Amino acid sequence: MATLESQTANQTQAANRAVVPVDWDALIGDARFQTLHRKKNLFLWGLMAFSVVYYFLLPIGAAYFQDLYKVRVWGVVNVGLLFALSEFAVAWIIALVYSRKASRDFDALAAEIAADFSARAGVKS
């Protein structure tokens, strides 16, 4: 019974949040939002540039540094295969780096901005 009541309360709160009018022009014009957008954009472009360069090192290396990529490391495993497998690790590391940066910096500022605009609209959090 208590879970049904809590679900209903959560749905009511979600519905109340959904109908709050947002002054998008004021939000976009807010200096904090612009700072958040600029910092996040710079960070994401940096991560993307790194990942693209790392990704293209595999076919470039396989084409121009064949002798290096053919070096056996263990059994039939060679440097090229290890580099190819390292791309999976790099993708996960990039996701981890972004997640930590977002939760440490971006999310806090976004929550501050959202709380301020909710207070302006008369919504209680």
Tens-digit pLDDT profile for residues 12-56: 666 555 556 777 888 888 899 999 999 999 999 999 999 999 999
The pLDDT score that the predictor gives to residue 38 is 95
pTM equals 0.69
The pLDDT score that the predictor gives to residue 124 is 54
Number of C-beta neighbours around residue 36 at 10 A: 19
The residue among 62, 65, 46, 57 whose CA lies nearest residue 86 is 57
The pLDDT score that the predictor gives to residue 118 is 79
How far apart CA 44 and CA 40 sit, in angstroms, is 6
Tell me the pLDDT band of 102, cut-offs 50, 70 and 90: very high
How far apart CA 31 and CA 1 sit, in angstroms, is 46
% of residues, the chain, pLDDT over 70? 80
Amino acid at 51: S
Provide the residue ranges of all domains of the chain, joining segments of one domain with +: 22-121
Tell me the pLDDT band of 119, cut-offs 50, 70 and 90: confident
